[in-house]
Structures are given as C-alpha cells and as structure tokens.
Structure 1
C-alpha cells in the first residue's frame, strides 16, 4: 500500500516534452491574444524586459549597431546605477578598471536586458548615490517621492497585473475566447488588498533570500506557484498561499530549473534579435508552458487530497461545463440575484465568471463591448481628436518611463499626435468587415501604419524640413523614417482602438446631447486647425 508521502510525490510527476507539446497546441489556438497579453505585461510590469528592446521602450532599442552595444545609453541604465554605487562606495581603482574592462561591457548588457531600472530597489539606489555625492537638494526629495511611487506601483499595479496575466493563461488553456482584459480581473472584482499583501511578502522574502544566491534560487522555485494560486483563489491567506506553493514545488524544484534552462536556446535567439523573437513567440510560449505545468500539478494535488487541497477550489479551470450545465447554473444564479443577473451576456467559449469564487460589486458589471457598430460623422471627428490626444499622452508616458522627464519633441501639434487619429479613422472605415479576424487586422494595421508613418515623415522632412520622428539611432528602421518595433506597438494599439477604445468612447460620447456633441467637435477641430495653420504659415509665406 502506498503511503501518503509517496502518493504525493508520485502525483507531482510530469514530463517536459508533453508539457511543451500541450503548450504549443494552446498557442496555436489563441496566439495573438497571448502575444498581446505578454506585450501589455512587458510594458506595464517589466516582466519581459528583453521584449521591450524590440518594442522601442527599452534603452537597447537606441543603438546603432551590434558592435556599438557598449556606447552610453539614452537613460541611466541598471548597470550604470550599480557601477556608480560601487565606485562611490569603494573609490577603488580596481573597481573602476573592472567596469572599464571590455569584457564587462557584455556583462552590463545582460544586466540591462534582464533587470528593471525603474524598480523600487534601483530608485532607492539612485537616492543613495545622490546622498553619497552630498547633493542634499530638491532632487533628493523628488527621488524620494519617485521611490515611494515606484513602491506603491509595484504593490498595487505590478503584482496585481502579474496575477492577472497568470489568470489569462490558466483560462485560455480550455476557453478559446478568453479576453485580454482578463489581466485586470482583480480590479474588476474590486479585490486587491489580500493578493497585494501576499505578493508583497513574496517579493520581500525573495529579495532577502537573493543575498544568499543559492537560497535565492531555491526560494524562487519554492515561491514560483504563488501568483498562480492567487489567480485561482484570490481569497486565500498568505500563510496558505505560501504553504501550497511549497507543497506544489516539493520534489519539482530541480525539474523546474531544468525547464527554465530548456528555454536557454530561445533566449539566446531572442538576444540576437534584440527582443523580436521574445516578442513574437518566446514569452507566450514560456508563459503557456508554466500555466500548463501549474494546471498539471494542481490537478494531481487535488486528486491526491493532499493537505490544503480545498483552497484550490476553481474546478472550472479543469472541468469545462456543458451547455446544459451552464444554462442550469445560470438559471440558479439568476434566482440568487447576483451581480451578473443584470446582463444577458452568455458565452460558452469563455470561463463562467458568474460561478467564480469572488463576485464583483453590481456597479462593476457591464455588458461586453461590441466592436461591430456604426459611427456617424460627429463620432468619427470626436474619435480622431480623442485618439490623437491619447496617442500624445502615450508617447510622453513612454518617454517619461525611459528618461524620467516629459518631452515635447515631435509634438508639433501639442497636445495632438495626429498620426494616431488618422490611423484610427482609417481603421474604422476599412477594417470593420475584418473584425472577426484579429490576426489579419493586426498585420494590416502593421503594414498601413508603417506606410503612413514613412510617407508622413518623408513629406514633412522634404516639404517643411521637420523631422518629427528621430529613428537614426534605432535598429530595424526603414530609411530612418519608420521603426519596425514601433509599428508593432502601434498595430496592437490599433487593435485596442478598434475592438475596445472606439466603441467605449463612442458610447460615452453618444450620452451627450446632440448640440453639445457638435459644439465639442467644432471646438476641438478649430483648436487643432489653429496649430496646423501656425506651423504651416512660415512655409506658406
């Protein structure tokens, strides 16, 4: 007879080849949504820093050639912060010579690729460097505020979105129509504090264990399951989340390490492509593999009735309810007058959210966005201005994250980025019939935006001597007029505009009275045309 400990050990057995095979099958079914989720997580949490090198929001996207990787980056990078700290602390010639050694260049490169210089830790290091330099001025105060904001962002945004990403990949295994917005599911549930608290201690313990190096690696795999456990059951306590993660990773840490090492070839290929392969395949592939692994381990753990298995209570991740089961469950749910009783929306290919263990408040439940809708003239005018202003904000936020300061360079139509508005209107006019085919929409977005930006940049430079885009220091450019990584970002933003932003903004706009809508459109158009006239006037005369 098998004793319980042997049964638990046997129940956690899994094969890497079978895991990857299942992951590849899942990717084929939901590829573009997975790419989009990893793209958003890369931008919002820096969980995939290598991918951002290709997307244009990482300092490594601003280098001339591979041979010039050692040149100074546009912003203060992670390796530069560490170098500055070491130099100020030790004032040692050997330290300075070490960082000037050519072999250190490539070590610094790897540090910059796989570390987040905007994290709380490096924000504190910047303050420390300033104190060592005895600059006790307003800059120190600003850096202190930045560190506090970075700390709060890490707790209440970064960690929550990481849980949301895990939830997306867990659901997309069996539910083909899992929405990208699933990464925000905890915000929709208005259930933040307990998961944020647990993730904070996970980060804190991991940070402290990292000082022991070996202990840091060991604890990395011991804590590895915590975001998945919280994605399945956000109500679980910190103590039970850590306990279950420890149990699930028991007898599996070495295999988890080997699983990570098996992706080394893909990572080297991504490094050579400066993040292109990471963006298009590696990140979704790795995330899907790890979600498959968690589902396998939690299934075996529940079947073995091991201690604490009752906290892994989301059976619908494994069991896909039939249409009859869903109809019966929905009827019973409606009788209980839950928050989803107010919506008639019901999708068999999506996870039955009305049966999830945590229910949102009534005010958070909305009917799904319908991208297939009509847009009248005034709606199109409003959307042109809305998306143009939205684009200007996005451009400046990206610049702020990269350099720590706002930039008005290239914003000649402040606060409009008309390229966004023009592109958005073209999408509404010509992509409407292709909405059921998001993959084709993405490729067309990519091609159309690349062509529009190239022509616009060429015309402004030739006719007005204005260089709105500065891509001379970027890799993957077309004659320095358009950046391929930027086109990929813009294609995803275009999809977001077509499928979500445009319908939502139009719905809000339509709630205004007709006279107010007309006046608002005319006012925005006059202000924008004023900027255009102001810029064109010197060239007309």
Structure 2
C-alpha cells in the first residue's frame, strides 16, 4: 500500500461531506469508545461540576448513602435522606431558568440526583414480589440487562453504521439521514450486533496473551467494514475474511497509526478539538481507503469468503441503464407540477392552502402526490445517493406511512377552519383534564369562556401551513415545530400579559424555562404533538371532513366562527380569571 497516496485520497474524499463526517464521528465519541479521549476534557469539566454540586451538600447528605440504605433494607431512612437532599437542591438553585420545583423534567432530575428514583423502583418491585432484598436484586439485574442491551445493540454496532456512512460518502453526493437505519431496513441489525459481539469476545480472549491484543487488533480491523458491506455474512466468515485480508498488512496499518501520532499530540494540546473536527474523520477515511485497497486485492486473489464482498454499487455508481431498470417509474429527470394560477397557486405551493376544491385543485393535489413519491427515490434513480433497490438484500419500502397518509396534501380553507376548532377543543380538554387529575377540581382553562384554547388550534394550523415545504424532512420539521411553538407561546404570553396585566400561565420552577413563559418540557410535548398533527391527525381529520357535504361544512364553519367571535369580544371585557387560571400565588 502507498501510504502517502492513501492519505491524499482520504483528504480529498473528506471535502465532499466534511460536516456530515465530523458529526457522525462526534456521535461515535459520545456513545462508544472508538474515539476515546476526544471529549475527555468536556466530560472531566462535567464531572468537576457534579463534584462541586455534591460537595455543596452537607457531608451527611449524599446519594451514595441513600443507595447504602437501600442495600441495608433500610428504606425509611433512605427515603428521609432523599427528601432532604431534594429540598436542599431545590432551595440552592440560583438561576430561575433551571428551576427544580415543578414539572416532569424537574421531578425526574430531582429523583435521580437525590436517589429517590431507586427507592421508588424498589418499592414498586417490592409490592409485586413481597421482598425488599429480592426487589433490590431484581432491579440490579434489570439495570445490568438494560446496560448490556444498549451496549450490544448500540455501542457495539455503531462501528458498522459509521463505516457504512463513510463508504457511501466516498461514492455518492448525498447521504440521507435515514441511511443510519440501513441495518434495520434490511432486518440485519441483530446479526450485525452478534458478529461484532463475537469479534469482541475473541479479541478479549486473545488480549490475555502476551502479543494477542496488538496482533488481533489489526487482524480483526476489517470486520466492521465487511459487515457494513454485507450484513448477511456469518460471524466466523467475517472474522476469517478479515484475518486473510490483513495477512502481510498488519505492519503497514501499524505504521499508519504511528504516522497519526502527531495528530494525537495536537488533540491533547487542543483539548480534543482537533480530533473532533479533523483527525478522527480523517483517520476513519484513511482506513476506509485501506479497506477498499485490501478488498480489491482479496477479490483478485479469490480469498476464502471474498465472494461475500458483493456490494459493487458501494464503490462505483450503477450505469444509467441499470438505474432505469431498477427505477422504471422514473422516466424523466424532472417532474414538474403544474401550479395553480395567481394567488391560489402561491398559497397552495408555499402554505398548502386551497381556497376551493375544484377540478384544477384535485389535479394539482394528484400531481403533488406523485412528485412526493418521485422525490423519495429521485436521488437514487439519478445516481446521487446509494441505490437501495440494487442492494444485495432487499430493503423495506421507504415512506410507506407517509405515502398512505399523504402529508404533502393541501387543505381547503374550510378544512383548516374546522381543524382549528377541533384542536382548540382538544387543547382545552387536555388542560382541563390535567388540572382535574392533579388538583381534583374542574377549571375552565383559558382566557375565553368557550370550550376552546385557541393557542392550540393556532399552533396546529401554523405548523401545518408554514412548514409545508418541510413535511418531507421529518427531523428538520420537528426542530422547526419546537422553535415555532416556543415563539408562539412566548409572544402570546407576553401580549396577553401586557394587554390584561394578568399572567395566564407560569412555568417558573420548571427545568429549562424562559421567564416562566415557555419551558423545555412543554415544547417537547408541542414538538411531539405537532409531528403527530402533521403526519397523522391532520390527514385523518381531513379525510373525515371531506365526507361532510360542502354546504353543511360551510354552515358549520361560519356558525363556529360567529360563536368564537362573540366569545372573543365578551372575554376582552370580561376575561375568564380565577384560581387555577390566573392565580399562581401558591406556586
């Protein structure tokens, strides 16, 4: 192998997907030990902060003593100490943004830092098995099982996923986020995890010998690359093939590692930053090139099991003819949707709003649906990303749920009006029920007197219309929902308080809150609810609304708008106030 040529090639390939490769290596540094030390400075700072917080507590109060009480079957003493720790931590919070007195997040953090979560778990299991000692033992075993499952399926297997992403990045311009789940899509995640587990066990046994750790590190170096190419291979076949491929090349790979020593020293001097943002992905790309070189050699020499290295499209793009045969529905490179004319076309294209439902609108929706299906496979059919239909193992069809529910659909103005009221009522029911459960009292929540909370309906309609162009990107859509709902809730709270002088909700004491107007806990609920609204509820409700006769639908909408308008005017002069609505004096 020409080491200089391989490094030069690796640097050139990194430029195509630099940010993406850095990101996936950072994930590896956080959840695995492959790039151990990269984030050690950050972790050490975090540990110091935790230690400072623990030393701030009196010496007789500590989570370790709570755990000791649990092991000594002295749950009453442990519960008392956990409560003292929790109260001490709540009172010591200096920044109101990190409140610890209210909300699910605060309760979770308090229960973990005080140790009360372990007491609750022991008590729950004890109620089922009737023995505190047995409950502690079962919880220890359960914790061990969860840890092992996480290691087996995530930490142990991420090396395969990481290498697959690097190998695809060598050949293709685009690597969609969903490719991280390629093992799941071909139903080979457990098999890949098992292969990496066998590799780990064999390497651990060899490490008990004098030179085994050094030699077998390089002998098994190609295993995750092999599994990334063909997750259908058997464990011993992958290990044997890796050993055969590395025969005569262990020393060369060792010299590559030695040549990276300067980067290791620089990483120490830069607190891991140089490794995180360059040398980690650089080193991974170098060994990707080593694997490609050794793979070609193995195929040429017909090494045992080399026929398993059969993913040819991972290294070279398929011909135009092959792609046309695999994607016959893609006849043209461009699929243009004929837009609606004038202002109707603007609102339909950018916001998904139809002011009426005529023949032209129905044809526009039909073409838009075809465009969505086309977009989901266009990049593959054009050779810009890996052609999943040409993979040696058939993958599950993408976007099955999205296609069935058709999230790209447009909504008539009447459907949007009715859904505004549906979700305003759902929000009202949610808050009234929550207050009823927590305080045992029925309270007509909201500033208005009717059974609706317009902030829920407004939020639903806004995310449905403003995020129309992002519906085909669920991950980005979730982030935008989070931001949009946070902005809407904060501004609504501010405007209502300025207009009335009353505070309609207060998140003070919640963990990660901003001026008591918004909090992370609420925004997470809005984010999940918003995703459900866009991809499931809105299409389902729209299908139901479409069954209502047009004239009846319009009459319903006009009637509801009239009631809403009357309530809004009346509530402006006689706002709905009182305990549980605007009275937060006891919080």
TM-score by length of 1: 0.53
Which 10-residue stretch deviates more, 16-25 or 239-248?
16-25
Instruction: Tell me, in whole angstroms, the C-alpha distance in 2 between the residues paired with 1:220 and 1:331.
Output: 45
Choose the corresponding residue for 2:196, options 199, 214, 236. 199
Choose the corresponding residue for 1:320, options 312, 317, 322. 317
* Cα pair distance change 1:295/1:197, threshold 3 Å: same
The within-5 A match list for 1:49-64 is 62=46
Structure 1 residue 201, shift from structure 2 partner: 0.6
Which residue of structure 2 aligns with residue 25 of structure 1? 15
* Cα pair distance change 1:144/1:383, threshold 3 Å: farther
- Is residue 161–residue 183 contact of structure 1 (8 Å, CA) maintained in 2? no
- Is residue 220–residue 239 contact of structure 2 (8 Å, CA) maintained in 1? yes
Instruction: Tell me, in whole angstroms, the C-alpha distance in 2 between the residues paired with 1:41 and 1:424.
Output: 36
- The answer to whether residue 136 in structure 2 is matched with residue 139 in structure 1 is yes
Instruction: Tell me, in whole angstroms, the C-alpha distance in 2 between the residues paired with 1:37 and 1:142.
Output: 33
* Cα pair distance change 1:184/1:441, threshold 3 Å: closer
* Cα pair distance change 1:183/1:465, threshold 3 Å: closer
Structure 1: runs of 5+ lacking an equivalent: 1-9, 75-79, 85-134, 333-342, 387-412, 414-418, 473-477, 519-531
Task: Give the match's secondary structure for 1:236.
Answer: coil
Instruction: Tell me, in whole angstroms, the C-alpha distance in 1 between the residues paired with 2:230 and 2:173.
Output: 21
- Is residue 230–residue 309 contact of structure 2 (8 Å, CA) maintained in 1? yes
Structure 1 residue 330, shift from structure 2 partner: 4.5
- The answer to whether residue 529 in structure 2 is matched with residue 539 in structure 1 is no
Structure 2: runs of 5+ lacking an equivalent: 56-62, 68-131, 330-372, 427-444, 446-454, 496-502, 548-552, 554-576
RMSD: 6.1
Structure 1 residue 185, shift from structure 2 partner: 1.2
Structure 1 residue 15, shift from structure 2 partner: 3.8
Task: Give the match's secondary structure for 1:271.
Answer: coil
- Is residue 166–residue 285 contact of structure 2 (8 Å, CA) maintained in 1? yes
Which residue of structure 2 aligns with residue 127 of structure 1? none
Structure 1 residue 303, shift from structure 2 partner: 4.0
Task: Give the match's secondary structure for 1:539.
Answer: coil
Which residue of structure 1 aligns with residue 173 of structure 2? 176
- Is residue 171–residue 315 contact of structure 2 (8 Å, CA) maintained in 1? yes
* Cα pair distance change 1:42/1:322, threshold 3 Å: same
Task: Give the match's secondary structure for 2:172.
Answer: coil
* Cα pair distance change 1:152/1:174, threshold 3 Å: same
Q: Give the number of aligned pairs.
A: 400
The within-5 A match list for 1:152-171 is 152-171=149-168
- Is residue 62–residue 73 contact of structure 1 (8 Å, CA) maintained in 2? no
Which residue of structure 1 aligns with residue 558 of structure 2? none
Compare CA radii of gyration and give the structure with the larger one: 2
- The answer to whether residue 243 in structure 2 is matched with residue 261 in structure 1 is no
Choose the corresponding residue for 2:390, options 348, 355, 360. 355
Instruction: Tell me, in whole angstroms, the C-alpha distance in 2 between the residues paired with 1:49 and 1:217.
Output: 18
Instruction: Tell me, in whole angstroms, the C-alpha distance in 2 between the residues paired with 1:213 and 1:458.
Output: 69
- Is residue 24–residue 162 contact of structure 2 (8 Å, CA) maintained in 1? yes
Instruction: Tell me, in whole angstroms, the C-alpha distance in 2 between the residues paired with 1:293 and 1:379.
Output: 57
Structure 1 residue 313, shift from structure 2 partner: 1.0
Instruction: Tell me, in whole angstroms, the C-alpha distance in 1 between the residues paired with 2:387 and 2:186.
Output: 14
* Cα pair distance change 1:194/1:445, threshold 3 Å: closer
- Is residue 380–residue 425 contact of structure 1 (8 Å, CA) maintained in 2? yes
Deviations 1:132-182 (A, max 9, x none): xxx955223211122123223333444444423322221122122221111
Task: Give the match's secondary structure for 2:171.
Answer: coil
Instruction: Tell me, in whole angstroms, the C-alpha distance in 2 between the residues paired with 1:312 and 1:45.
Output: 26
Choose the corresponding residue for 2:296, options 299, 302, 316. 299
Instruction: Tell me, in whole angstroms, the C-alpha distance in 2 between the residues paired with 1:292 and 1:469.
Output: 50
- Is residue 408–residue 472 contact of structure 2 (8 Å, CA) maintained in 1? no
